[in-house]
Chains A and B, each alone.
Chain A
Amino acid sequence: MKSKSVRLEDIEKKYGKNTVLKGINLEVEAGEFLVLLGPSGCGKTTTLRLVAGVERPDSGRIFIGGRDVTDLPPQRRNVSMVFQNYAIFPHMSVRDNIGFGLKMRGVDKVTIGKKVSEVSRLLKIENLLDRYPSQLSGGQRQRVAVARALATPFDVLLMDEPLSNLDALLRAEMRGELKRLHRKLQHTVIYVTHDQVEALTLGDRIAVMFDGEINQVGTPEEIYEYPENTRVAGFIGTPPMNLLEVEFDGEARVDGLEFHIPAKIRKFLETHGIKRFKLGFRPEYVELRRTGMSGTIVLRENIGYNEILNIQFGNHIVRAVTKRGEVRDNRVNFSVPEQHMRIFMNEKLVRDI
């Protein structure tokens, strides 16, 4: 198998005075599916463009398969890419678009034809092969862009929100296809998205990015359970983690109301003399029983099988996910299991309590 690792070392990128990437360090193993996740404008596309070589970093080095490619042009990096805006050639038929990379490598027509029909079957665009891009819908164009990237041989596959324009059903299906394909072929993939479900289901690991900086790299479980800081915590999950400002004076208080914390955390706070911190816990882990803190449901958001309860607690809203219709009364008691509480000091996760 010839998939290769990717390493970014201290990458900085400026556009004019605007520093878009502020020292990116990232290591993607050979055969790994890494998802770059972050809000709009955080620098995901820029990062991919640097790996592809269509953009040069202002400082830092890029390695593919251990080889320094920082100064190599895109043609010699052997990467393939799905562009966020597709960039499929408007003057070529879908067939020629998909076969373009192979043609440039001097592959013979028969082999190109085989490969084109293979990937177009995978992406369900076999019936579009003789059309031109202007005759396609946005979602179809996007799939052509993915097909073109998959058809071309590569060491590293870069995908910039390749499913963003598909309807929910097709997206889920394509997600499955990509996952299956990656299992089978084990190629190195850097996959950009701001769709969390995509990130959590596809990624071997996820790199969470804000404002040109990578905040955390980890498996989906790590990112979900142990977000490195409050920013990641507030970004990952739908709805994201509850974050409460807590004052500690022997008792933990949120807006003056007592919040039950386990002895272990209490001891930790006492030994370190901590007076204020942020308490995080996921809405999915909130337990609604007879015991615990009491609050009032001010809003119920229906999300199908489940609903999100917005519980007023002091000046904070605590969100809890339950089966729809399970909680009738608007006065509720809630508690958080010990193992699901996270403590953030200065916005950073305290790992060993």
Chain B
Amino acid sequence: MRVVRKLLETLFALILILWVLLPIYFISSLSLSTRKEVFSFPKPFIPREVSVDILRFFVEAHGTVRSLLNSVVVAFISILIVLVVSLPAAYALSRRRFRGRDSIMLFILTSRMLPIPLLAIPLTNLYIAMRLYDSLLGVALLHAAMALPFAIIILTGIFVKISKDFEEAAYIFGASKTKTFLKVTLPMALPGITAMLIFTFITSWNEVFAASILTVENRTLSAHVLNVMQASPIYFKYAAGFFLSLPAMVFIFLIRNYLFEMWGGLQSEK
């Protein structure tokens, strides 16, 4: 019985892994092969020839570099906004017991209840009125707004885990509140904060809908790709897919231990 269960579990895990990895594998392997191979059928599982030809074509295509830079700028502005807003918010939520604290936590999440398409027209109107339309700052603001609820909730959890005792010890040994935050709380939260920021970065990097409707000229990479997709050869799409998923893959790989800790406690089961 135990063996059967174990077997089923393994099988299920395997399916899940393939489900995620296969598309990534095909996108990566094809974008690292030659154009000829992309059109061949059946496609080889392992590329016969490895080449950066396709990737170079993508990078050299009109608008790619510019939109790539835009993406980076937008991501960093949203990270900055998220940091400035979520740090104090999460700290207050974790340390103070005030009336309405739980409702606020809930309310923060409700901002994600409205689907972006629903907001598209009012948002566009608002952005035009505020002269934010087609600006990187505008896109960054929306990305920050999208990432903030989770950022605040993740960060609150991180601060809650840092025992108040450390701060109290710091106070007793003469550290002011600011010093205590900077020298004790913040360093202890740093791994979590980094993970949260990477999460924000990925959110912004991958976001396509809002970026597409709020810009015309200043498109981010994902918006740009979406825009030119129909008119592009298939290998362009592979390269684009590869580029768009690369940061997420790298970053998630870097913070994987932390994600496990935050979201599942997988490590404690070992």
**Chain A interface residues toward B at CB < 8 A:** 49, 52-54, 73-75, 77, 79-81, 83, 85, 87-91, 100-101, 104-105, 148, 152
Closest to A78 in B: B174
Contact in complex: A91, B170 (CB < 8 Å):
no
Chain B residues in 8 Å Cβ range of A105: 174
Chain B residues in 8 Å Cβ range of A152: 173-174
Contact in complex: B165, A87 (CB < 8 Å):
yes
Interface positions, chain B 175-231, Cβ under 8 Å from A, are 175-176, 179, 184, 187-188
Decide yes or no: A101 and B188 within 8 Å by CB, A54-B168, A87-B163 being known contacts.
no
Contact in complex: B169, A87 (CB < 8 Å):
yes
Partner of B169, one of A73, A77, A83, A91: A83
Q: Does B107 contact A (CB under 8 A)?
A: no
Partner of B168, one of A74, A88, A90, A100: A74
User: In terms of DSSP, what is the predominant structure of the interface of chain B?
Assistant: helix
CA distance A52 to B173 in the complex (A): 10
Decide yes or no: A91 and B187 within 8 Å by CB, A54-B172, A75-B175, A75-B176 being known contacts.
yes
Other than the known A83-B165, A83-B169, what 12 A-B pairs have Cβ atoms closer than 8 Å?
A54-B171, A77-B172, A80-B173, A81-B169, A87-B163, A89-B169, A89-B170, A91-B187, A100-B170, A101-B173, A104-B170, A152-B174
Chain B residues in 8 Å Cβ range of A79: 172
Contact in complex: B173, A73 (CB < 8 Å):
no
Q: Does B260 contact A (CB under 8 A)?
A: no
Chain A residues in 8 Å Cβ range of B163: 87
- Sorting the interface of chain B by its residue count into under 10, 10 to 19, 20 to 34 or 35 or more gives 10 to 19
Q: Does B251 contact A (CB under 8 A)?
A: no
Please give me the 8 A-B residue pairs with the lowest Cβ-Cβ distance, nearest first. Answer: A101-B173, A104-B174, A87-B165, A74-B171, A87-B169, A54-B168, A91-B187, A74-B172
Decide yes or no: A75 and B165 within 8 Å by CB, A89-B184, A91-B188, A104-B179 being known contacts.
no
CA distance A105 to B173 in the complex (A): 9
Chain A residues in 8 Å Cβ range of B168: 49, 52, 54, 74, 87
Q: Does B25 contact A (CB under 8 A)?
A: no
CA distance A54 to B166 in the complex (A): 11
| Residue from A52, A88, A100 whose CB has the most chain B CB atoms within 10 Å | A100
Interface positions, chain B 244-260, Cβ under 8 Å from A, are none
* Cβ distance B180 to chain A, nearest Cβ, rounded Å: 9
Contact in complex: A148, B173 (CB < 8 Å):
yes
* Cβ distance A241 to chain B, nearest Cβ, rounded Å: 37
Closest to A105 in B: B174
Contact in complex: A100, B188 (CB < 8 Å):
no
CA distance A300 to B129 in the complex (A): 92
Contact in complex: B188, A73 (CB < 8 Å):
no
- Taken residue by residue from 129 to 146, chain B's Cβ proximity to chain A (1 for < 8 Å, 0 otherwise) reads as 000000000000000000
Interface positions, chain B 14-44, Cβ under 8 Å from A, are none
CA distance A89 to B166 in the complex (A): 6
Closest to B186 in A: A91
* Cβ distance A66 to chain B, nearest Cβ, rounded Å: 21
Chain B residues in 8 Å Cβ range of A88: 169
Chain A residues in 8 Å Cβ range of B174: 75, 101, 104-105, 152
Chain A residues in 8 Å Cβ range of B188: 89-91
Selected A-B contacts with CB under 8 Å, 12 pairs: A49-B168, A74-B171, A79-B172, A81-B169, A81-B172, A87-B168, A89-B169, A89-B170, A90-B166, A91-B188, A101-B174, A104-B173
Decide yes or no: A80 and B165 within 8 Å by CB, A91-B187, A104-B179 being known contacts.
no
* Cβ distance B182 to chain A, nearest Cβ, rounded Å: 12
Chain B residues in 8 Å Cβ range of A75: 171-172, 174-176
Closest to B179 in A: A104
Chain B residues in 8 Å Cβ range of A89: 166, 169-170, 184, 188
Chain B residues in 8 Å Cβ range of A148: 173
CA distance A101 to B171 in the complex (A): 9
Closest to B162 in A: A90
Chain A residues in 8 Å Cβ range of B169: 81, 83, 87-89
CA distance A53 to B171 in the complex (A): 9
CA distance A315 to B169 in the complex (A): 51
Closest to B189 in A: A91
CA distance A91 to B186 in the complex (A): 10
